[in-house]
Structure 1
Amino acid sequence: MSDSKFDSEYKERLHKRTEEAGKVRKIVALVLTSLIILLIVGGVSGYFYVKSALEPVDPSDESETTVEIPLGSSTSEIASILKENGIINNELIFRFYTKFKNVTGFQAGEYDFTKAMTIDEILQSLKTGKVMLDPLLRVTIPEGSTVEQIAARYAEHFNFTKEEFLKKIDDEAYVNKLIEEHPALLDEVILDPEIKHPLEGYLFATTYPFFEENPPIDQIVQKMLAQTKEVVLPYMDSLEGNRLSSVHEVITMASLLEKEAPKAESRKRIAGVFYNRLAQDMPLQTDPTVLYAIGEHKDRVLYEDTEVESPFNTYHINGLPIGPISNFNENALDAAVQPIDSENLYFLADQEGNIYYSKTLEEHNKKKAEHISQNSEDKQPEEAKPNDE
């Protein structure tokens, strides 16, 4: 090949490469320019979107809207309530802004907000608990209350009957709705047909403020579930190594301890006994479950009562009852999760409320003879059950 021909072909290839490189540079420049424009447009749009979301809903509207923040409400739930009442523009931005500002410790209560308030003003009110109205009524739900007792107490104060309250909270469709709304607390196990009332044990014992004369039943239930969730869920982190594995089991155990003893330390010691019996596949044989199973309050549980066939009767079944038998105090919950370890398998209480613990049936029967009247008609549970001998 001649040098001139070689030079010609070389120049042609070089020219093509130069043209291709130029096209690539143009494409890259175009893509980069487009990306920059998109980033600028997106950034500007995002800025104005966030800015708009943080501004008052209507700076000229000073009319007050009363908003109730229930006990135990999360930031997400508060954001949803404020959005529903037209107090903020955007739930998501409110939550992000709250996290960014590291604002916590919101107070429950009833507030008067306006659409002209800034998010910072709203947060300040929620943080300081600047409640605008005093509650019209406070209703105290005692520890150890069943849902039937709770229904009766509320019926004394509001314009619905005990039966209407129970009908609402026993409705399967309504309970399914609550399970969807509170998945960390409620489980489908509460819908077992052998459970008397699905929400038994889940309506926490405390004093509840009400800011209207006749709140709907759902509002009352939601208020109580929020309080239960606030108290119970932190204890679930302590279950590692515990024989209980679910919220339902923890609440069930707490309800038994609530009924068995009035003092916190006694509940912890009794919890230790219960866990020892569970470990040896012995029935718990606790009288309050018998009373719940027969649906009757009695000063004395007779032997014939312990024979009732019920998934709640811990003389009839091994293990925990199918569900809670009442609500409970927080120290009963603490005892359920953190019992006092021992080798005891038995306990009994005398008429003064003193509790005696034993490792063996022989020791238990000896203490029973010493501290329990032999003239009573009480049942003799541990003696009567073959698996205790």
Structure 2
Amino acid sequence: METGIPAVRKGTGMGRKIIMGLIILGLLLSAGLLLAYYQFNELLQPPAASGIVSEQTVVVPQGASTVGIANILKEQGLIRSSGAFRAYTAYRGLDSSLKAGEFSLNTGMNVPEIVARLVQGETVTLSFTIPEGYNITQIADRLAEMKIIDRDKFLELAATEDFDHDFLQGIPKGPDRLEGYLFPDTYKITRETTEREIIAMMLGRFAREITPEFEAGAADIGLTVHEAVILASIIEREAQKDEERPKVSAVFLNRLKKGWRLESCATVQYALGEQKARLLNKDLEIDSPYNTYRNAGLPPGPVASPGSASLKAAVNPADVDFMFFVVSEDGQHVFSRTLNEHNRNKARYIGGL
């Protein structure tokens, strides 16, 4: 009589085999997944060998896809696998977060570090410095030489574009409209910064100088803000030392009060369109509203970009009665009250010119 016991034993043996097979399969799958993980993780590591790291500048075009970005990085030797890069960004949900721009990367960065920089938009920054006393043409030339702007586009925008600043109200559009208002300073930009954005940045920096104290100071000496900027631009080009700027300011304001011509060499140089070490007598005869040897009062506009010291000096003149000054070759200012004294100073310090 069959009890069924052998069948039970047979079934139990088959079940054990199945269980063991599943365990082995699970172990193989786990090992495979673990191996795949380590292989994938290896592909995310920096491509630099033996600790040798090289810097690379990467340009990601506007509208570039993740595939395109991965190919650019692979071609420049910054990642080991474009596929691993795409898989990582997809897994992290960052495909649409990669930004365009110019980035500074190196072969010592892994994929997560590169992706983080592209997502944060940490683009390469450029810096440029505009010296005090530059006019708008010199500014455009300097930026064009640095390949930061298109010179013609920059000057056209400066002449015609609208910029929302109170200190520009009433100044007619034209080539000289922003003269004196592009503040001399050091600026940081990216390759994507446009000509208009650069102008707006410089105007915004200038706006910080036009404080209520500046406006009140201009009103106290009988000048509009624009006239104070014109005076500051002349001081910038005439004075050599910051501590002497208030005295230079006083000289020009004293001459204005008496109805004398300013006789500023800086305004003649602006009229000539060039910076000359020494002006000739014929230069002083140039027919221009900027020639303050022939015309009374302030010129129609600034002749350069004044810095903070000159702007402050324009509305805070020294309390002196000087009417003349000369500047020696070593930058020393020599002030005088009378024409005779001035002529003696000219003979002593600049050879009688």
Q: Which bracket does the TM-score occupy, shorter chain normalised?
A: 0.5 to 0.7
Residue in 2 that maps onto 1:301: 279
| C-alpha distance in 2 between matches for 1:159 and 1:351 | 35
Q: CA deviation at 1:347?
A: 0.9
Q: Which amino acid aligns with 1:137?
A: L
Letter in structure 1 aligned against 2:278: R
Where does 1:141-160 land on structure 2 (aligned, <5 Å)? 141-158=130-147, 160=149
Q: Does 1:140 align with 2:120?
A: no
Counterpart mapping for 1:1-389 below 5 A? 133=122, 136-158=125-147, 160-171=149-160, 174=161, 177-178=162-163, 181-182=164-165, 184-191=166-173, 196-210=175-189, 212-234=190-212, 235-245=214-224, 247-374=225-352, 378=353
The structure with the largest alpha-carbon Rg is: 2
Q: SS in structure 2 opposite 1:239?
A: helix
Is the alpha carbon distance of 1:363 and 1:65 closer, same or farther for their aligned partners in structure 2, counting shifts above 3 Å? farther
Give the Cα separation in 2 of the matches to 1:256 and 1:64.
Answer: 50
| Equivalent pair of 2:150/2:195 in contact (CA under 8 Å) | no
Question: What amino acid maps onto 2:262 in structure 1?
Answer: L
Deviations 1:68-116 (A, max 9, x none): xxxxxxxxxxxxxxxxxxxxxxxxxxxxxxxxxxxxxxxxxxxx9x9xx
Distance 1:187 1:218 in 2: 18
Query: 2: distance between equivalents of 1:361 and 1:154?
Result: 43
| AA of the residue aligned to 1:239 | A
The answer to whether the 8 A contact 2:135-2:180 is kept is: yes
Letter in 2 for 1:314: T
* Alignment partners' CA distance in 2, 1:344 and 1:369: 18
User: SS of 1:347's equivalent?
Assistant: strand
Q: Give the C-alpha shift of residue 147 in structure 1.
A: 0.9
Instruction: Output the CA distance in 2 between the equivalents of 1:165 and 1:270.
Output: 33
Equivalent residues of 1:238, 1:337 under 8 A apart: yes
* Structure 1 residues 320 and 135, CA gap change in structure 2 (3 angstroms): farther
**TM-score, scaled to structure 2:** 0.63
Q: Is the 8 A contact 1:155 1:161 kept in 2?
A: yes
Q: Which runs of 5+ in 1 are unaligned?
A: 1-60, 67-111, 115-130, 379-389
Check the 8 A contact 1:144/1:258 in 2, yes or no: yes
Cα distance in structure 2, aligned partners of 1:312 and 1:65: 52
Which 4+ runs in 1 deviate beyond 6 A?
61-66
In the superposition, relative to structure 1, how do residues 236 and 351 fare at CA in structure 2: closer, same or farther (>3 Å)?
Answer: same
Contact conserved, 2:183 with 2:206, CA < 8 A, in 1? yes
The corresponding residue for 2:20 is: none
Q: What secondary structure sits across from 1:306 in the alignment?
A: helix
Evaluate the alpha carbon distance shift between residue 360 and residue 231 of structure 1 in structure 2; reply closer, same or farther with a 3 A threshold. same
Distance 1:239 1:65 in 2: 50
Which amino acid in the other structure matches residue 154 of structure 2? Answer: F
Identity %: 35
Structure 2 unaligned spans of 5+: 1-92, 100-116
Maintained 8 Å contact 2:240/2:331: no
Q: CA deviation at 1:367?
A: 2.0
Measured at CA, do residues 237 and 64 of structure 1 come closer, stay the same or move farther in structure 2, by a change above 3 Å?
farther
**Cα RMSD (Å):** 2.4
Name the amino acid aligned to 1:156.
E
Q: Structure 2: how far apart are the matches of 1:306 and 1:243?
A: 28
Assess, with a 3 A threshold, how the Cα gap between structure 1 residues 65 and 261 changes in structure 2: closer, same or farther.
Answer: farther
C-alpha deviation, 1:134, in angstroms: 6.8
Aligned length: 241
TM-score normalized by the length of structure 1 = 0.58
Contact 1:204 1:227 in 2 (8 A): yes
Residue type at the aligned position of 2:167: L
In structure 2, do the counterparts of structure 1 residues 253 and 134 end up closer, same or farther at CA, with 3 Å as the change threshold?
farther
**1:197 positional shift:** 1.7
